[in-house]
Structure formats: structure tokens, C-alpha cells
Amino acid sequence: VWKCKHLHFEKSEFFNFFMTSVSCNFVRIYKKLIALLLFIVLVVVVLKFCVVDKDPDSDMTASLPGSNSGIPDKLWQPKYAILETTMGEVVIELYWKHAPTTCRNFAELARRGYYNGTKFHRIIRDFMIQGGDPTGTGKGGTSIYGRTFADEIHEDLKHTGAGILSMANSGPDTNGSQFFITLAPTQWLDGKHAIFGRVYSGMNVVKRIGLVETDKNDRPVDDVKITRAYIKMN
């Protein structure tokens, strides 16, 4: 017999009492641990879905399949690119059906902000306005595929009039980031420069840019810049 000051227990009774107490404590601790784990999981889930990215552009990057490589997936085909310039806004319609590789390069560079702050560094009246070089020299710029990429010439696309968007280059397969917009028919460029879009609206702005004063090297006396370039899905 186990004796206490006020209680008397048989050995078996004490053992049963002890085991019952231990079991109850273990169950209580187990329930608390489960509740704690569930709370932690809930907090993690809430934080995951409530975090807001402060950079609006990064939302699109995260949603683009294949964006880890820096090159958007082929399914990503925004219809328009908008060029906000120091002389007004120009909306470009991209020819994805005929020049998907070239359109993807231009659209992705615009989405990244690559063209923001760049100049129209070469302007020739009644011919074209040229831009897209971050150095402003006519010798710079790279594509999203590397330094350069191959020509994407389509026989159905011709430099038939004003407002044609085409890639500037220094020879075959040397496309980077530079582009030009025609101010008149320039058929001698057919087969030599990749056409990938046209001016959808803002041709009056393009024409005014084409009339600015330039020096002997066809550089504007006063800078004409793309303040912001971005894409629009439809």
C-alpha cells in the first residue's frame, strides 16, 4: 500500500492514476502543437496571396511563360506598342503573323523600359526617323536574343509608304534594338530591312518629328526623345 498524508492508494491504483495523468497531458500538448502548426500554415498561405508587388511591370514578367530566360513565350503577343515622345504619342501596330521574332524583340524591349529616354538620333526629311539606340550614336543597342538576330523578311511586306516600322541594321542579320519609321515610300529597302509593324495612330507626330532641324550628320539640333515606351495587349 502507498500512503500519503491524506490519501491511500494501492500500487495498481497509483499506476493507473499516473498513466491517466500522463496521457491527458500528452493529448493536451499534442492538440496545442497541431493548433500551432495549423496557425503557421494559415499565416504562410495568407502572406503568399496578400503580397503586392510595387513594380507594375514585374507583374507581367512573372506572368510570362518562359520569362526566366528573358525571352517571352510565343503565346505572348501584345497587339500594340505605344511610344510617348517629347513631341506627342505614337501608337504602333505590330505584325506578329509575319514577323513574330522581330515583334517579340521590340515588344519585350519596350516592356523592359529599354527605349525610355532614348533619342531619335537620325532624321532625314521625306525619308525616315530612326531611334532605339540607348547610346544615341547609331552604333549601340542589343536584342533580347543577344547582340543581334537574323533578318525576318516577309515578301508580303513592303516599304510602300509613310508609317512603316522596320528594323535598322548594318548589313544582313545584324538586327539589334534600332528601328525606323518611314516618312515616304522607300521601296529600295525591300528585302534588306525587316518590316514588323506600322503606325496605327499618331502619324501627325511622326511627320512633325521628320521636319525638325538637323545637322550635317542628320542628327536633330534639339533632342527628340522617347520618354516612355510600353505595350498594350489589345
pLDDT at 214: 97
Rounded CA separation 161/193 (Å): 15
Query: Is 195 in contact with 95 (CB distance < 8 Å)?
Result: yes
Which of the following CATH numbers is that of domain 61-232: 3.40.50.9100, 2.40.100.10, 2.40.50.140, 3.40.50.300?
Answer: 2.40.100.10
pLDDT at 25: 65
User: For the chain, which residues make up each domain, given as ranges?
Assistant: 2-50, 61-232
Write out the catalytic residue numbers. Answer: 122, 127, 130, 169, 180, 189, 193
pLDDT at 19: 58
Rounded CA separation 212/87 (Å): 10
What are the DSSP calls for the chain, one per residue?
-EE-SS-EE-HHHHHHHHHHHHHHHHHHHHHHHHHHHHHHHHHHHHHHHH---S-HHHHHHHHSTTGGGTS--TT---SEEEEEETTEEEEEEE-TTT-HHHHHHHHHHHHHTTTTTEE--EEETTTEEEE-BTTSSSS---BTTBS-B-----TT----STTEEEE--SSTT-B-S-EEEESS--GGGTTTS-EEEEEEE-HHHHHHHTTS-B-TTS-BSS--EEEEEEEE--
pLDDT at 16: 60
Low-confidence ranges of the chain (pLDDT < 50): 1-7, 9, 50-68
Rounded CA separation 220/218 (Å): 6
Task: Please name the residue that has the C-alpha cell 512633325.
Answer: 208
pTM: 0.70
pLDDT at 210: 98
pLDDT at 38: 81
